[in-house]
Structure 1
Amino acid sequence: MSKHNNATPPNLVAEPLADTIKKPNILPDAQLSKTTTDDIDEPSSVILPQEDLKISSDLAQATIDRLATLSELEYELERTETAKSLNNMSVRSLDKLVKKARGKLKSETSESLVVDIEPYAEPVADIALLADQISQILDDHIACTDAVKTAATLWIILTWVIPVSHILPIAWINAPEKRCGKSTLLTLISRMSKRSLSTSNITGSALFRSIESYKPTLFIDEIDTFINDNEGIRGVLNAGHSRDNPYIIRCVGDDNEPTAFNVYGAKAISGIGKIPSTLIDRSIPLTLRRKMKSETKKRVRDLPLNVTNMIQSQLARWSDDNMSAVKEADPVLPISINDRAQDNWQILFKIAMLLGDEWLEKAHTSCMEISGSDSDEPSSNEQLLSDIKTVFSLNQTNRLLSRDLLTELRRDPEMSWSTYNEGKTITLRQIAKKLSAFRISSRDLRAFDINGNEVRGKGYDVIDFKDTFSRYLS
């Protein structure tokens, strides 16, 4: 027998060896596509399933804060696995949280625009004496009435007790002409107020972001040069007046997400001429006058910093010790001023109560001189009502044709209606629009015209004004 006769035939391969040679599993295309999808919008458990881990919010925040300190490359290497470990958070959600943490970290590490003053080591024994010192500094540098000096002094102290205030009146420093000391007073007040932040111009976005980030006492000079054309800034200043509605909503970030910003805070503004009526209504006007040639006033640059720094330090200590007392103070406000003026002056009267009877009397006198009913300038609509009432009275009639009312309004040189439209007379349509705000409209009636003839036409009956006159002119 040949030596090849013992060879094993090819079809008789050992059984165990055959089991190890198998065809690999091949997934269908649809299943393969689904398996290899990498969508960062999906939770990590969809990508890499794992057991449900419960991470506490504190630990998660600590992890996010750590990620915020990493370089861009380091973060990219960790983001997917870290998201998976944070209760299977989506990677996109982690990106947003880390971005927010980076912004907060940058804000905390950057140089602040405001300075916090260390409170005085000893309690302030006589706050009235400190108020007298502030008032004297104002008098040394500014030509103004005693009423303005008193209001400005109380407003400075106001900036140190904002946590217990409900209304924060704007300090509106104004003057009829240049070189009356507006910027000087603004600078003086800023040097004695809390967390002062001064600017001569500012955008709307910078304004609300600064208030949100730094909680400053804001000082804006030359506001008359840009406020009337900037609705965004007007909105921020108006909203920051009361705690009842202190938020504005703005879209921010790459995704333009609506975000609420708290803009409640103390603000002082200065300028020549008019500002919007909504700001006037929320302000305490500090009207200055040009000094006489015989008057001598000191220069602010010669006022030593250690003097105003000491005042700030003492006010910081006094406010820390007396915040509750200011909150509980319940002064009696003058009843002859309107409701908005009472709101504006309330916090100043609270402070005056703690300064003593002399300062409380000063506050009352100042309030009546600055915001008393005699100094309350009517709006354009209220002025029209007043002049219409005068026309009815002078003509000794209860009914006026519309055309005759227009004639009488533009006839009187004491009234402004003949030059209302940039030198041209007000129109019947404009009169009708203003009166419609009070729910008063013309109607068909019979009346005597200005020549004494009884005619029929569109006009107004005084009885339609009765309720409006009593509400707005009494």
Structure 2
Amino acid sequence: MTRPIDGAALLDDVEAFHRRFNVFPTEAAYVAVALWDAHAHLLDCFDSTPRLAFLSPEPGSGKSRALEIVETLVPRPMVAVNASAAALFRSVSGPDGRPTILFDEIDTIFGPKAGDNEELRGFINAGHRRKGVTYRCVGDSQTVTPFPSFAGVAVAGLGSLPDTILTRSVIIRMRRRARNEHVEPFRAGLHEPEGNALRDRLAQWAEAARGFVMGAWPEMPEGVTDRPADVWEPLLAVADVVGGDWPERARQACVTLVKASQANDKGSIGIRLLTDLRDHVLIGVDRLPTVAILDRLNALDDAPWADLGGRPLDNRRLSKMLGEYMTADNEPIASRNIRTSGGVLKGFYADDLTDAWARYCPPPPRP
């Protein structure tokens, strides 16, 4: 009789394997990546799968190495460098089983010089949910045919990702190793078999754990809701099943990485505008003329307003951007007359913005 596999001890081993070759920025990152490796073996148990994103501002930060280690641990890895959307959806729906797709140098696909990759972006977006499909025209008659897109996806690249992918990802912000940080050199011929042995143990454990994971609704940490909850639900379900200290560590990691992603996420340019108006412009006043608002916005350090496509934010664009949001009375935010000592000027009232601030902006900074 085969002895049951201790899931907590197995995840300890997976984490230790990563620690031999990867320097992640936080303890939370090791926990999250080990859970993601395990969840890839249980994809059929979940309604959604988070993307795993290793991102950094500069080369030489260990992103590709992290992806290489993940490759040894997940089922049916498919390294997709410059792969087309057509190749990917045919692989996902192919007879050999669903692959785990690994994108290195994702910035060449979604970066500023990458050109139009909407079809590939659409595939990655659709594939995070079980019901996600990609539609293609097939055959001489060009019949519209749905192809499944649901697959685990891990990426590595410079810079950032489109918001639609970033918000569906567990984000690991990689950085170059410091002089006092050391890792074991990774030799594929020597170390891949070790990773593959762990992969086989994960697959064996997953078969036994499938019934416990299916339909699980893990308790979320306080404050983790909506899309972050969707991202972390499969990982917390895995942690709860393996037991040991993993349920507690997983929730600590969840809170840490969700807060980090929110701190790094400036949101859309519209949300950035609303937030800057609240935190830096309309402070201590209930109204302000447009000319004064523009002066204050364009003078802000580390803000985009002084250079939007080579020109500073102007009255017309400010009105257009704010007009996309609504007041508490469900009317578009618009400039109104403000009486000043010099006459009547157009400007904006804080009361018109309070509802949009509450709905879209992150919490204000503490004094």
Query: Which of residues 153, 158, 177 is equivalent to 1:272?
Result: 158
Query: Which of residues 373, 381, 385 is equivalent to 2:274?
Result: 385
Change in 2 beyond 3 A, CA 1:408/1:305: closer
Change in 2 beyond 3 A, CA 1:332/1:393: same
Once the two structures are TM-superposed, the CA of residue 288 in structure 1 deviates from its matched residue by 1.6
Change in 2 beyond 3 A, CA 1:357/1:372: farther
> Secondary structure of the equivalent of 1:323?
helix
1:168 matched residue in structure 2: 49
2:329 matched residue in structure 1: none
2:32 matched residue in structure 1: 151
Q: Is the 8 A contact 1:124 1:314 kept in 2?
A: no
Q: Is the 8 A contact 2:80 2:102 kept in 1?
A: yes
Mapped to 2, the partners of 1:268 and 1:124 lie a distance apart of: 29
1:1-24 CA-partner distances (Å, limit 9, x unpaired) = xxxxxxxxxxxxxxxxxxxxxxxx
Query: Which of residues 330, 354, 359 is equivalent to 2:241?
Result: 354
More helix by share: 1
Mapped to 1, the partners of 2:302 and 2:68 lie a distance apart of: 39
Once the two structures are TM-superposed, the CA of residue 328 in structure 1 deviates from its matched residue by 4.2
Mapped to 2, the partners of 1:136 and 1:271 lie a distance apart of: 24
Change in 2 beyond 3 A, CA 1:390/1:305: closer
Mapped to 2, the partners of 1:149 and 1:447 lie a distance apart of: 58
Letter in 1 for 2:74: S
Query: Which of residues 224, 228, 235 is equivalent to 1:337?
Result: 224
Change in 2 beyond 3 A, CA 1:123/1:263: farther
Q: Give every structure 1 segment of 4 or more consecutive aligned residues whose post-TM-superposition deviation is greater than 6 Å.
A: none
> Secondary structure of the equivalent of 2:38?
helix
1:22-70 CA-partner distances (Å, limit 9, x unpaired) = xxxxxxxxxxxxxxxxxxxxxxxxxxxxxxxxxxxxxxxxxxxxxxxxx
Name the stretch that deviates more: 207-216 or 150-159: 207-216
1:182-223 CA-partner distances (Å, limit 9, x unpaired) = 111101101100111112221122222222224111001001
Letter in 2 for 1:217: T
Mapped to 2, the partners of 1:274 and 1:455 lie a distance apart of: 47
1:242 matched residue in structure 2: 129
Q: Is the 8 A contact 1:167 1:343 kept in 2?
A: yes
Equivalent positions of 1:47-446 (< 5 A) are 122-144=2-24, 145-213=26-94, 214-228=97-111, 229=115, 230-243=117-130, 245-301=131-187, 303-372=190-259, 375=263, 377-379=265-267, 380-394=269-283, 396-422=284-310, 424-439=311-326, 440-446=332-338
Once the two structures are TM-superposed, the CA of residue 391 in structure 1 deviates from its matched residue by 4.3
> Secondary structure of the equivalent of 2:271?
helix
Q: Is the 8 A contact 1:435 1:441 kept in 2?
A: yes
Change in 2 beyond 3 A, CA 1:262/1:443: same
1:125-166 CA-partner distances (Å, limit 9, x unpaired) = 311111111101111101112111111000000101111111
Once the two structures are TM-superposed, the CA of residue 386 in structure 1 deviates from its matched residue by 0.8
Rg (Cα) greater in structure: 1
Letter in 2 for 1:295: E
- What TM-score comes out, normalization by structure 2 length? 0.89
Mapped to 2, the partners of 1:153 and 1:438 lie a distance apart of: 41
Once the two structures are TM-superposed, the CA of residue 441 in structure 1 deviates from its matched residue by 3.1
> Secondary structure of the equivalent of 2:177?
coil
Once the two structures are TM-superposed, the CA of residue 297 in structure 1 deviates from its matched residue by 1.2
Name the stretch that deviates more: 409-418 or 164-173: 409-418
Once the two structures are TM-superposed, the CA of residue 273 in structure 1 deviates from its matched residue by 0.3
Change in 2 beyond 3 A, CA 1:338/1:455: farther
Once the two structures are TM-superposed, the CA of residue 260 in structure 1 deviates from its matched residue by 0.7
- Structure of higher RCO (CA pairs closer than 8 Å, 6+ residues apart): 2
Letter in 2 for 1:129: A
Change in 2 beyond 3 A, CA 1:357/1:387: same
Mapped to 2, the partners of 1:323 and 1:185 lie a distance apart of: 27
Mapped to 2, the partners of 1:393 and 1:443 lie a distance apart of: 14
Mapped to 2, the partners of 1:306 and 1:131 lie a distance apart of: 17
Once the two structures are TM-superposed, the CA of residue 392 in structure 1 deviates from its matched residue by 4.6
Change in 2 beyond 3 A, CA 1:455/1:324: farther
What is the aligned residue count?
A: 347
Identity of aligned residues (%): 27
